[in-house]
Each structure stands twice: as C-alpha cells, then as structure tokens.
Amino acid sequence: MPRWRPVCPLVFRTPGRNRKNWIFVSSCCWRGGRRFPDRWDAGLMTFIKLRGGWMKIVKAVGKAVDFIEWICMTCSVISVLVMMLLVTADVVGRKFFHHPIPGSVEINEEYVMIALVYLAMSYVYKEGGHVRVTLFRHFIPGPVKTVVDTGLNILGLLFFALIVLLGWQTSLRAIRFQETSSCLLAYPMAPAYLILTLGAALLCIRILETIVSPRKIKWE
C-alpha cells in the first residue's frame, strides 16, 4: 500500500513525481478528529471543475494548432514542387522557345520561397530539425543547460513575436494601400506578408509551449 503524504488540506499524493499520482479527497476525510470545513470541499470541487474545463480548452487549442500546422507543412511541401515546375518551365521556355515566363523569378522570391520557409518553421522546430550550434553543449551541466535553453527560447519568442507584429502591420498596410509587386504581373503583396505572419505566429506558439512545458528535443 502506498504511503499518503499531505500536500494541502484536501490534496494528498502517493510517492513519485508523476502528476497522475495526485489524488484529491473530499471533505469526508478527517484530520485530528475534526472534519474539514465544507467551504474547503466546495472550493476543491470548483477548482477541479475549472481545471477540467481549462484542460479541455488547452487540448482543443493544441489540436487546432496541430491541424493548422499540418496544413501549413503541406503547403510548404507543395511550394517546393511549384518552385521546381516554375523554374523548369522558365528555363525550357527561355532556351527552346525564346519566351521565358514573365515574373517567374519574382514569384519564386516573393511568394514561393516565403511559403517554403515560414510555413514549415513551426513543424521543423517541433521535430528539433533547426540548425543549432551544440559544440559546447555537452560540457554544460544539466541545470545550467536548462536555464540556457529557456533563456534562448525566450529570446527566440521575443524575436518572432516582433516579426508577427511587424508582419501583421505590414499586411494591413498592404491591404489598405493595395500594394503590388514591382514585376510586370503586379500581383498583390498582402498574401505574402500574411503567410510570413502566420508562420512566425505558429512558431511563437511552439516556442511558448516549450517554455511552459519543457520537453526533450533531439537537437544533437
């Protein structure tokens, strides 16, 4: 039988650090021959209900972020195919038909490459695939390594949050003034800014998730 240890008047836990070992007991428990006040029981039940509702919201938001991230990653993969076909068609048209595709370079630079990079950043971060210098990481003690990783994550969060803010402002300005590309096609630039903003926002969510709930990422 596990030995119970009091944590607060109405919360006991079994040995171990797993949160699943936490067990909430009602006011029918006794301490020193006295029954716990009913207000403690009411407060505990309210806390359990609020915690359960909050966890449902967190899980729902997590599933929504995962779904949006999957769509963005799919679009990023498709953009590689689009870039390949566009460049190939432009080279074939230029060499064999003396008629290149107008604006192919600008489309790749201002749309396709942005989708390729920014829409995949969040997923790559989640999988630990970003390039990172780990030359001296093995020589840093465990607690110090955790502090360093958290500090770097906070700096990254602030940096990409600034990108989200500036990208959103630039997108609104491009929509308001109907900003277009400088190439012959003169296509609107607002969608490109929105793609950048969306990718940076998803990355901010993933970094914040790592800060709040640290997990092991295979950087090495």
CB count in 10 Å sphere of residue 13: 18
What average pLDDT does the segment 11-24 reach? Answer: 44
Query: What band does 167 get if pLDDT is binned at 50, 70 and 90?
Result: very high
Distance of alpha carbon 195 from alpha carbon 220, whole angstroms: 30
pLDDT digits 0-9 by tens, 19-73: 444 444 443 444 444 444 455 555 655 656 556 666 677 677 778 888 999 999 9
If you write DSSP's letter for every residue of 199-220 in order, what string do you get? Answer: HHHHHHHHHHHHHHS-------
Across all residues in the chain, what is the average pLDDT? 77
Lowest mean pLDDT among 3-17, 45-59, 145-159: 3-17
Distance of alpha carbon 126 from alpha carbon 45, whole angstroms: 35
pTM metric for this prediction: 0.70
Instruction: Give the per-residue SS3 of 119-146.
Output: CCHHHHHHCCCCCCCCCCHHHCCHHHHH
Distance of alpha carbon 85 from alpha carbon 51, whole angstroms: 51
**Percent of the chain at pLDDT above 70?**
71
133 contacts 122 by C-beta, under 8 angstroms:
no
Q: Is residue 121 scored above 70 in pLDDT?
A: yes
